[in-house]
Amino acid sequence: MIIEHPLLGPRDAAEFTYLGDAAMIDRPDWQSGDAIREFHDYLYLRDNPAGEHRELWFHEQGDRSWLVVTRNTTTHEITKVELARDTALASGRHR
């Protein structure tokens, strides 16, 4: 697989390590009354879809940026690559 890095251009997927579902960017609120259940679900449960999947890749052998890659899990086709930082800021995270 070739990942189209937003800053560096096309890079071999072997340069990256994989973390998983990009939903992990959104940590639950630790002060929520239901925090224990929310953190259990956040840590251990996954949607694991067959089809389009937004996921976190870390460019470990490159510029060490985190990317959000939109990839089809049935074909391995990559349709979108964003910097995870941009995704997090756009969703309201301040750091």
Partner 1 sequence: MNYSGFRVFWEGLTGNAGWKPAWRDPDPRAEYDIVIVGGGGHGLATAYYLAKEFGQRNIAVVEKGWIGSGNVGRNTTIVRSNYLLPGNEPFYEFSLKLWEGLEQDFNFNAMVSQRGIVNLYHSDAQRDAFARRGNAMRLAGADAVLLDQDGIRELCPFLDFDNARFPIRGGLWQPRGGTVRHDAVAWGYARGADKNGVDILQNCEVTGFQIDNGVCKGVETSRGKIRAKKVAVCVAGSSSRVMERAGMRLPIESHVLQAFVTEGLKPIIPGVITFGAGHFYVSQSDKGGLVFGGDIDGYNTYAQRGNLPVVEDVCEGGMAIMPMIGRARVLRMWGGVVDMSMDGSPFIDKTAIEGLYFNGGWCYGGFKATPASGYCYAHLIARGEPHPVAVDYRLDRFRHGAMIDEKGAGAQPNLH
Closer CB to partner 1, residue 12 or residue 89?
12
| Least separation in angstroms between CB 91 and partner 1 | 21
Answer yes or no: are the C-beta atoms of 57 and 3 closer than 8 Å. yes
Task: Count the Cβ atoms, other than its own, within 10 Å of residue 69.
Answer: 23
Mark the segment that binds partner 1 (CB under 8 A) among 26-34, 39-47, 58-66, 79-87. Answer: 39-47
Nearest alpha carbon to residue 84 among 5, 12, 10: 5
- As a whole number of angstroms, the distance between CA 65 and CA 22 comes to 14
27 is a site residue for partner 1 (CB under 8 A): no
- In this structure, the strands spanning 52-58 and 17-21 are antiparallel
Q: Exactly one of 9, 10, 30, 48 binds partner 1 (CB under 8 A); which one?
A: 48
Backbone phi and psi for residue 3, each to the nearest 5 degrees, phi listed first: -105, 125
45 is a site residue for partner 1 (CB under 8 A): yes
Site for partner 1 in 50-79 (CB under 8 A): 50, 53, 55, 71, 73-76
Interacting residues with partner 1 (CB under 8 A): 1, 12-14, 17-21, 40-41, 43-50, 53, 55, 71, 73-76
